[in-house]
Structure 1
Amino acid sequence: MTTPDASTTNSSTTTASPTPPVAERRPHSREHHGRVFVDNYEWMRDKDAPDTRAYLEAENAYTDAMTADLKPLEDAIYDEIKSRVKETDMSVPVRAGSWWYFSRTIEGKSYAQHCRVPVAPEHAADMSDPAGWVPPEVSPGVELPGEQLLMDGNVEAEGHEYFALGAFSVSHDGRMLAWSTDTEGDERYTLRFRSLDPEVTAPTEEISGIAAGVTWSLDGEYVFYVTVDDAWRPDTVWRHRLGTPGDDDDTVFHEPDESYWIGVGETRSEKYLQIAVGSKITTEVWCLDSSDPAGEFWCVRPREEGVEYDIEHAVIGGQDRFLITHNAGAPNSTIVEAPAGPVEGDFGELRTLVPHRDDVRVEGVDAFEQFLVLVYREAALPRFSLMLLDSTSTAGTQEYGQFEPVEFEEELFTSGPGANAEWRTPVLRFGYGSFITPSRVYSLDPVTGERTLLREQEVLGGYDPARFLQRRDWATADDGTRVPISLSMSRETAARIDAGEQVPTLLYGYGSYESSMDPSFSVARLSLLERGMVYAVAHVRGGGEMGRLWYENGKTLTKRNTFTDFVACARHLIDSGLTATDRLVAEGGSAGGLLMGAVANLAPELFAGIQAVVPFVDPLTSILMPELPLTVIEWDEWGDPLHDAEVYDYMATYAPYENIEAKDYPAILAVTSLNDTRVLYVEPAKWVAKLREISTSANSTDRPVLLRCEMSAGHGGVSGRYERWRQIAFEYAWTVRTATAG
């Protein structure tokens, strides 16, 4: 089985030294396309087997023993995070109908309370008056007139080690709440209903085993929800009539193709219900008029492989129009308009509203009664612009206004539309922040351009953004591609670098699914910056920071670019004199954990340590098993090694688990969760066991390989803010020690 002891006593000394667990080798052969791979640790896949549990517990005990000396630093970082957070606080109220919705957090409580107050009577009827969109002043600990407590997450979480809220959706008339919870971490939720009006009786039925969200019909008689198949793929949309047994629910839509998943929602105007069907490269949208919730959905445009599109409903010149964002012949996407209804022919035959550009990634359009919001990405930054809809805006003609960009002064920032629940709003709520600017919430008047700051994230303890700086560097990849790196640090650290000192640095990366790692503020990260560390983000290919081709050139048969880009970023930071190999720690999670595993094999000499959170480090084994959660839909991202020998061979060249070598590796901290359904715990467990077997450094005390498995958590780690802060404090303590040990 394993050697489960976390420590033993050396016969020549009385000092106890931790001894790593040794997993039993049980050879298991995997054969595809004539290639045979012998896996000694596949037996760990049996989650309920006593041997598996014993091994994971032994790993946890070893990690505890090896990090026991970190406890003072962990406690200090935890206390710093806690001291900087305004624990008793409130969100900015958001108007929906005749109510303002907001949440409260209370010191000592892990979860939020969800509340609402009525809109002032003089503003309830007239939604066009901007004065009616000024949120009420909120103060911690002060109850507002007419305040209603809709749900207390702390009460609902009682008796559960894990708690996550999946759906929290109020009916359009404001009289009923649909909510769902997950108490295991496996992302399967139980749906319930709660009356918000004393004159309305809530239905008592419960629906279990559903995906996270729900969508109300306009009349409040129905909710639509999604269930998943055995592989955790959202595959079926259901229609539930309130007050009837869940067993009587209607199947509205089922997607049999295992490479597609589905979701249900509605347009912002609430005129159409929508079912979005998508693979990694293809989409299809179905619609139903909200006034006929028991009717049949119709297809906007049948799927065409490689074509992605989404639709937004707008009323222009008194006509119902669809604004369609698509990538047919336009890698960075373009926006066209058409009459609301099924689209005949090609998207290219429709009128273009936003043309394609090679240097701008169009991400979508949001339609309100009086204006449109274009969301796009330029120079590796998320941006947005506005277009007014007035009497000159005529559907199907050239009589449109222009999209005007909303500008900001910082070099690096994140901006975009925020919580805007109402189509008829005369103002736009948007968010803004950067690595050094705490997140802000603004209200923008599209007509005058006036911005009103509604809230800036309060950082307790006298945080001064002027003490910190951020900037953009560029590394050069092996093929000559310039790769952006975002850097943030204190000015004191910058001065040390300017004086020629090499400083401890954390380099973060992800690089998959066209996800972008945008500038964002973190209270917890201050504990690193205050200790003289640089926080760097490598915007490697496979992400979406630099447009669609940036993503395309970091997936399937070009995936190795993701790893070599990250190595190039690390070398740039070292060669520029900012840091050194004994002061550089790398971090990534999930698909970014795959990046960490690959980099550990490619260039272990560049890093003092590597932290891999819920890491996807055994991708070839997982992608070869279509019965596993989410596997088939991943083939568009990684390729299909089950049926394609070329893909198999290519993945075999970078799969971290299969490419471990007898050489020195950096110190490694792998963090996973037993109930994770996205990246199974078995991947990092096997990875750690094999590193111990093969690498020449994994069993050393100066560069140990550690595994921490949360036994009651899912893909996102532990639940509850205090528990999450504790987990971050532990990981940061490990990072600080590893980056400064040299």
Structure 2
Amino acid sequence: LFDELRGRMREDEASVPVPDGDWSYYVRYRPGGQHPLLCRRPRGADDGEQVMLDGDAEASENAYFRIVEASHSPDQRLLACALDLTGAEACSLRLRDLEGETWLDLAIEQGHGDLVWAGDSRHLFYTVIDADHRPRWVRRRDIVSGDDALVYEETDPGFFVGVDKTESARFVLINSRDPDTTEVHAIPAHAPETAPQCLHPRTAGLEYSVSDHGDDWIVHTNAGGAADYGVMAAPIAEPATAPWRVVVAHQPGVVIEEVIVLARYLVRLERAGALPRVVVRAWADGAEHIVRFDDPVHEVGIAAGYEFDTDTLRLDYSSPATPEHVYDYDMARRVRVLRKTEAIPSGHDPANYVCARLDAPTADGETVPISLVHHRQGVPGPATPLLLSAYGAYGMATDAGFSPHRLSLINRGFVVALAHVRGGRDKGDRWYRQGKRHAKTNTFDDAIACAEHLAHQGYTSRGRMALHGGSAGGMLVGAVVNKRPDLFNVAVADVPFVDVLNTMLDPELPLTPPEWPEWGNPIEDHEAYRTIRGYSPYDNVAAQPYPHLLVTAGVSDPRVTYWEPAKWVARLRELKTDDNLLLLRTNMSAGHGGAAGRFDCLEEIAFRYAFLLKVLGRTETLAFGVAGKTLRGAPDVRAQWWHPNRRGRGCGRSRGCRAGPPDHRGNCRPLRYRGRGR
């Protein structure tokens, strides 16, 4: 399986270069290399490459290594980077001279990973975590003098702080937030020693993020009852007191997920009915157009690049059957230019696969979207194995993009389905609110409704399904197998948040106070206590049969501490009444994100898939693709030393939250690379 997965990976993979002034920046891998190389070359040239940071070389003496973030200075002479050397998400911040290609004397530990340059290329803003692993301080380092100053301290233990920069590079932004409330301070990037200006004081339930355009702040916000967000404008001179003007009105059920502000365009990524769309608005006349994609199930991402005064928008697009396509979209001419198509070296024809969207009815009258894919030659039926994945937390929508790794299941006859359950914003803020706090059990009931609907529609049957979720999605797995163990033959719970009640009762844990708005505060709210006690997987294990289970943990995990899944597995072993496999693997050299190297990630995925294939009886031959090929050398599924891949996007709304829905590509956590933009 590992060889099969690796055969779909282009080993010299490289990103599409992004221009910034005289240079173009990109990330690539060398054949056989585990870690990325951060590179640049002269703009418009095909040669003259400079390797700014060699991830393989830096990782050679570390059991764990991940480049969390990298940011080149505006004058393009320096590279700041944040390196995680333990998996505990406490970063070492380092500085590299790109002209001399040497490391400078910068020793900052316990960084959170945010790195933002001031406009003078001399001052670097960064965040530092406290003893409870909470991003608490924003500091500013003078690279020339070595002076280090405290810029901002977040004193509320329920809030995390981060630092960013507007697309124009005019302002450095300090963002404080919990899952429901935001406060932003701004500093002129050309005057980095200026005291931060609060744009609007924190108000419970008010969320906002800002960019700048001309004399205005452009505010992406839920102000004025805009539950699914709108876009407003406020004068830069007095944003806290002057009335905010509507730029893009709120549309109930259409979530504005992301906004990019450029010199001539306002771009927004929206989601309606669990499908994304890109809308471009010209500042000159307010004219809007939608960038359309035709697949019934797909995923789209947007990126501004480093340059503010541009007509070009970078888009990436995929569907469950279609590999990623990267486009440069000319917003003036409304023309897409294909820059890259994800290569599958072992071969892949999207026409061989069927994508579909279903809607599962629930007992309370809602319908839950399901995105699914299967091989065209594999007509689903009651004997068909099906993998159902779900997340449903923090308002994070579930992406329905391409994963080359899933082909190892689909080509063996699996249907792969993604349930867009409540708790995410797949169908708007209402969908999120109906899957949090006192309504959290809707998330689990939705997953059950999706499983039953898939069986009723003839895609599979009870006992032929596998359930998967990671982190907060692992909570879903635990709650569902407690409530309906008969539906699933096997389940995989990656770094699962399963000891919910005890965790939310302990205010000393770093993630507990910031997450009371998401789950409820059982210390002060009796109803929250009863609700959490009623679904917390650890507290509801019963003397009953359970599916085959694979459970993972990471010893350095700061988000889901390793003893949570260990306690859950111990209680399951004590009470369950079956002889099914129950495996626990604790990674002793990684944290919440699992292995960092790209091939190490493939080994994790291979074991997870071997576990599923073994239990569901699909190990012998490929049903499609390479006909008659035998799966050999599959790891013993009883082994205790492995854990499956558990990628998460993390929650952009709360930097401290547990990892988001699994990356649709199954890849390692993406490297954050910044230049002047964000």
TM-score (norm 2): 0.89
Contact 1:87 1:107 in 2 (8 A): yes
Pairwise CA distance, 1:501? 4.5
2:185 to 286, 289, 295: 286
Task: State the alpha-carbon separation in 2 of the partners of residues 462 and 215 from structure 1.
Answer: 41
Contact 1:203 1:242 in 2 (8 A): no
Task: State the alpha-carbon separation in 1 of the partners of residues 67 and 177 from structure 2.
Answer: 25
1:323 to 191, 211, 218: 218
Pairwise CA distance, 1:445? 1.1
Partner residue in 1 for 2:21: 97
Task: State the alpha-carbon separation in 2 of the partners of residues 167 and 385 from structure 1.
Answer: 28
Q: Does 1:727 align with 2:623?
A: no
Quick one: which amino acid aligns to residue 231 of structure 2?
I
Task: State the alpha-carbon separation in 2 of the partners of residues 463 and 370 from structure 1.
Answer: 39
Quick one: which amino acid aligns to residue 330 of structure 1?
A
The 1:668/1:202 distance shift into structure 2, 3 A limit, reads closer
Any idea what SS the aligned residue of 1:405 has?
strand
Task: State the alpha-carbon separation in 2 of the partners of residues 197 and 321 from structure 1.
Answer: 37
Task: State the alpha-carbon separation in 1 of the partners of residues 504 and 237 from structure 2.
Answer: 38
Partner residue in 2 for 1:188: 90
Superposed, 1:270-669 pairs within 5 Å as 270-315=169-214, 320-328=215-223, 329-345=225-241, 349-389=243-283, 393=284, 400-418=285-303, 420-493=305-378, 496-497=379-380, 500-669=381-550
Q: Does 1:208 align with 2:109?
A: yes
Quick one: which amino acid aligns to residue 620 of structure 1?
L
The 1:180/1:344 distance shift into structure 2, 3 A limit, reads closer
Contact 2:253 2:429 in 1 (8 A): no
Contact 1:323 1:365 in 2 (8 A): no
Task: State the alpha-carbon separation in 1 of the partners of residues 596 and 437 from structure 2.
Answer: 33
Task: State the alpha-carbon separation in 2 of the partners of residues 260 and 375 from structure 1.
Answer: 26
Pairwise CA distance, 1:477? 1.3
Partner residue in 1 for 2:153: 254
C-alpha offsets along residues 70-114 of structure 1, whole Å, 9 cap, x if unaligned?
Answer: xxxxxxx21111111111222111112211111221221101111
1:706 to 569, 579, 583: 583
Q: Does 1:230 align with 2:122?
A: no
Q: Does 1:179 align with 2:72?
A: no
TM-score (norm 1): 0.82
C-alpha offsets along residues 501-525 of structure 1, whole Å, 9 cap, x if unaligned?
Answer: 5310000000000111111111111
Structure 1 regions of 5+ residues with no counterpart?
Answer: 1-76, 121-135, 137-143, 394-399
Quick one: which amino acid aligns to residue 341 of structure 2?
E
Task: State the alpha-carbon separation in 1 of the partners of residues 270 and 237 from structure 2.
Answer: 26
Quick one: which amino acid aligns to residue 220 of structure 1?
S
Quick one: which amino acid aligns to residue 97 of structure 2?
S
Contact 2:386 2:465 in 1 (8 A): yes
The 1:501/1:566 distance shift into structure 2, 3 A limit, reads closer
Deviation larger for 368-377 or 459-468: 368-377
Flag the structure with larger Rg.
1
Higher helix share: 1
Task: State the alpha-carbon separation in 2 of the partners of residues 206 and 567 from structure 1.
Answer: 50
Contact 2:136 2:154 in 1 (8 A): yes
Over the residues paired in the alignment, what is the CA RMSD in angstroms? 1.5
Contact 2:412 2:618 in 1 (8 A): no
Task: State the alpha-carbon separation in 1 of the partners of residues 11 and 430 from structure 2.
Answer: 42
Q: Does 1:159 align with 2:83?
A: no
Task: State the alpha-carbon separation in 1 of the partners of residues 117 and 595 from structure 2.
Answer: 30
C-alpha offsets along residues 377-426 of structure 1, whole Å, 9 cap, x if unaligned?
Answer: 1121121111223xxx3xxxxxx322211111111111131351211222
Structure 1 runs, 4 residues or longer, greater than 6 Å off: none
Q: Does 1:717 align with 2:613?
A: no
Task: State the alpha-carbon separation in 2 of the partners of residues 419 and 714 from structure 1.
Answer: 31
Contact 2:122 2:144 in 1 (8 A): no
Any idea what SS the aligned residue of 1:441 has?
strand
1:118 to 39, 42, 45: 42
Pairwise CA distance, 1:167? 2.4
Task: State the alpha-carbon separation in 1 of the partners of residues 270 and 298 from structure 2.
Answer: 13
Partner residue in 1 for 2:673: none
C-alpha offsets along residues 191-225 of structure 1, whole Å, 9 cap, x if unaligned?
Answer: 11111124x98641211111112111110111011
Partner residue in 1 for 2:121: 220
Partner residue in 2 for 1:57: none
Quick one: which amino acid aligns to residue 300 of structure 1?
L
Quick one: which amino acid aligns to residue 85 of structure 2?
T
Pairwise CA distance, 1:244? 4.2
Percent identity for Structure 1 against Structure 2: 39
Contact 1:382 1:518 in 2 (8 A): no
Deviation larger for 446-455 or 420-429: 420-429
Task: State the alpha-carbon separation in 2 of the partners of residues 180 and 357 from structure 1.
Answer: 39
Partner residue in 1 for 2:567: 686
Partner residue in 1 for 2:31: 107
Quick one: which amino acid aligns to residue 282 of structure 1?
T
The 1:716/1:530 distance shift into structure 2, 3 A limit, reads same
Any idea what SS the aligned residue of 1:582 has?
coil
Contact 2:94 2:103 in 1 (8 A): no
Any idea what SS the aligned residue of 1:523 has?
coil
Task: State the alpha-carbon separation in 2 of the partners of residues 273 and 419 from structure 1.
Answer: 17
Contact 2:39 2:49 in 1 (8 A): yes
Quick one: which amino acid aligns to residue 355 of structure 2?
Q
Quick one: which amino acid aligns to residue 275 of structure 2?
L
Task: State the alpha-carbon separation in 2 of the partners of residues 226 and 264 from structure 1.
Answer: 7
C-alpha offsets along residues 36-74 of structure 1, whole Å, 9 cap, x if unaligned?
Answer: xxxxxxxxxxxxxxxxxxxxxxxxxxxxxxxxxxxxxxx
Task: State the alpha-carbon separation in 2 of the partners of residues 434 and 342 from structure 1.
Answer: 44
Contact 1:582 1:739 in 2 (8 A): no
Pairwise CA distance, 1:364? 3.5
Task: State the alpha-carbon separation in 1 of the partners of residues 470 and 520 from structure 2.
Answer: 21
Contact 1:336 1:350 in 2 (8 A): yes
Task: State the alpha-carbon separation in 2 of the partners of residues 530 and 559 from structure 1.
Answer: 35
Task: State the alpha-carbon separation in 2 of the partners of residues 551 and 275 from structure 1.
Answer: 26
Task: State the alpha-carbon separation in 2 of the partners of residues 645 and 148 from structure 1.
Answer: 60
Task: State the alpha-carbon separation in 1 of the partners of residues 239 and 457 from structure 2.
Answer: 54
C-alpha offsets along residues 238-265 of structure 1, whole Å, 9 cap, x if unaligned?
Answer: 01111445xx521101111111111101
Task: State the alpha-carbon separation in 2 of the partners of residues 156 and 243 from structure 1.
Answer: 25
Pairwise CA distance, 1:740? 3.0
The 1:626/1:207 distance shift into structure 2, 3 A limit, reads same
Quick one: which amino acid aligns to residue 221 of structure 1?
R
Task: State the alpha-carbon separation in 2 of the partners of residues 341 and 373 from structure 1.
Answer: 24
Any idea what SS the aligned residue of 2:87 has?
coil
Partner residue in 2 for 1:267: 166
The 1:419/1:351 distance shift into structure 2, 3 A limit, reads closer
Compare relative contact order (CA 8 Å, sep 6+) and give the higher one, 1 or 2: 2
Any idea what SS the aligned residue of 1:492 has?
coil
